A and B are shown apart, each in its own frame.
Chain A
Amino acid sequence: MSDNKLHISRSHLHYLLKQMLRIRRFEERCVSLYSEEKIRGFLHLYNGEEAVAVGVMQALTPQDTILATYREHGHALARGIAMNSIMAEMFAKQSGCSKGRGGSMHLFDSKLRFYGGNAIVAGALPLAIGMALADKIQQRNAVTCCFFGEGAVAEGEFHESLNLAKLWQLPILFICENNLYAMGTALALEESNQNIHVKAASYGLTSEVIDGMQVVNVEAAAQRACAAIRNSQGPHFIECQTYRFRGHSMFDSQLYRNRNEVEEWQAKGPIVQLTQWLEETHQIEAQDLQNMEHAVEQEIDAAVDYAENAAIEPVEDLLKHVYTEVSDD
């Protein structure tokens, strides 16, 4: 259970750092696996945005529901889906977390209430409304947390959903990962008003904008919002200002932004920032960092090994899962 107080113990800070490193190194490994053609299809990497998923996830309990986008490896890892099953999914194997039917963009784990992995921009927002409505009707004291990028703000479903969330006073936490580019289109070319959190406020949601590159900051904001939501204070909205270090997908030559801009953001990246601060305040030793990196590398090696050796689904099973079988109860 999370509580209102923010954990800022040394061990918790180390935990946050490790979670972000797991995501970063996982994504980096995905790049090489992609060039080896082990991973195919579209691959959207989360490098640079790790603080958002990791920070927000600290505020969520196992009863809470998560919906994410097609850039969701980080969220899946931070939620606790086993890296083995995520990597196996990337490798299109039957033991993948979506049995190889979803791939990188559609990671699912219903036991962890992780409902995708949605590759339609803003497509998960209405689903989040429904999941929260179901919780409210069934009097489950749970939060539905919906992640999406700032590109979703231009979609009608964003506005329909925010209106419904407030109208029905639903227990939802909207997390807008504002990484400044909807694929290759800058926010200024998309939105007449670029203050996204203001749009949410205009629907009556409690809304704020935060520095999404500082994981502690993100966690604090998410803890506050979740506490309020659990206290029947209705939907909350957090705009996390962040940046995507890599291209939109593996096919992006990044003509729409310059190298300097990327480097400026990289200098204030979430892992760099936290590591520097921990070092400056003597809360981490070089050996701790090495150990952490080593453990992460081992976990990734094991996941790749697992995925390599996992079985593919027999083609005879192709028609499975299109429909849920009718049970006799």
Chain B
Amino acid sequence: MTEVSFREAFKTAIVEALSDDPRVFLMGEDVGYYGGCYAVTKGLIDDFGPQRIIDTPLSESGFVGAGIGAAIGGMRPIVEIMTVNFSLLALDQIINNAATLSHMSGGQVSVPLVIRMACGAGKQLAAQHSHSFEGFYAHVPGLKVLYPGTVADARYMLKMALADPNPVIIFEHVMLYNQTGTLPESNNIAPMEKAVIRKTGKDLSIISWGGCLYKALQAAELLEAQGYAIEVVDLRCLRPLDSQTLIDSVRRTHKALIVDESWKSVGMSAEISAILAEQALWYLDAPVRRICSVEVPIPYAGHLEQACLPQSKQIVDIALEMLTAPEQVLKEEL
């Protein structure tokens, strides 16, 4: 067992991919000589050279499309988009080409492309560098969407994504890069498309992923100190969504609280709520609750930014509301 940061885990995964498969190359803005905006790819150009670590112009649509073309042409490209907000400039290529070519061609064309992108708030980067758009991408058939929330997934999901013959997007939350965690020695890791129960409990399921997972786990610990057994479900893969693991968890705990850094309206949390309403309603003893970001573009001011985001204390408070029997609440109100 070794302690590593998410940054190191992501980087080790890229190094492994480049070392194992000559078809793999990395391209994106400032991935080479600069070392990556978030320093994930620092030094790789020295080890692998500019043929395999390709600095691109600021042409998101151009180089993402080039990644799609290269994947069709027999390569296994990893395309880095500096931040999820910039990926909107490449939406045409991702949605109109990467996601459609297999189907539109009657299965003749495969796009084994991996796109990595930084996302999420917490660094006071304001409204054009801080968002959580994983729900946009998870909406689209033809794409697969991964969002690692543990160093083990940061380390091993890239390999699974590269082995997949479809376009896979991997989100990397900017607040996780410096966090450390214990990396299991073995490659004993759940399949790419499976949700994982990070902590078992019988009283309530907190459903989360990516940048909010650690907050959910912190909240679960605080609640445990108060005598509650909390289950934490890490979705890991947002498309395809492992709804069975979700439903099974709720069947055990009868209560579901979703923690999602994106906006509440029309997002992942809405989708999960709908799945539970459609397929797990009779297991539920309380309404599904959601903690999401406040519906404003992320502000620069640190206190306002933090006020936008789901926080562990907020998770604890809402969970306690859910865990407290309605009779008791009523009595207290009287």
Contacts and interface: CB of A to CB of B under 8 A. Distances in A.
A5 interface: no
B72 A123 contact: no
Nearest to B60: A160
Interface in B84-119: 92-93, 96-97, 101-112
Contacts of A327: 165
B61 A157 contact: yes
B66 interface: yes
Q: Which of B63, B70, B75, B96 has the most CB of A within 10 A?
A: B70
A138 interface: yes
A82 to B, nearest CB: 14
Interface string B213-231: 0000000000000000000
Given A102-B104, A116-B105, A156-B61, A130 B73 contact: yes
Contact of A321 (B69, B92, B96, B106): B106
Contact of A164 (B66, B109, B112): B66
Nearest to A119: B96
A322 interface: yes
Contacts of B75: 133-134, 137-138
Interface string B179-219: 00000000000000000000000000000000000000000
A148 interface: no
Interface residues of A, number: 46
Interface string B50-62: 0100001101011
A164 B57 contact: yes
B142 A322 contact: yes
Interface residues of B, number: 44
B167 to A, nearest CB: 9
A18 to B, nearest CB: 28
Contacts, number: 155
Interface stretch (A93-101, A178-186, A293-301): A93-101
B105 A98 contact: yes
B110 A65 contact: no
B64 interface: yes
A324 interface: yes
A125 B112 CA distance: 19
A129 interface: yes
A322 B102 contact: yes
B149 to A, nearest CB: 23
B69 A160 contact: no
Contacts of A115: 72, 101, 105, 109
A2 interface: no
B141 interface: yes
Nearest to A142: B73
A291 to B, nearest CB: 35
Contacts of B56: 164
Given A106-B104, A324-B102, 8 more contacts: A98-B105, A120-B96, A127-B66, A130-B67, A322-B142, A323-B102, A323-B144, A324-B166
Interface of B: 25, 51, 56-57, 59, 61-75, 77, 92-93, 96-97, 101-112, 141-142, 144, 163-166
14 contacts: A108-B106, A116-B104, A127-B72, A129-B69, A130-B69, A134-B70, A134-B72, A137-B70, A160-B61, A161-B62, A163-B57, A321-B102, A321-B107, A323-B165
- Leading 7 A-B pairs by shortest Cβ distance: A130-B69, A126-B65, A134-B73, A99-B106, A160-B62, A160-B59, A108-B105
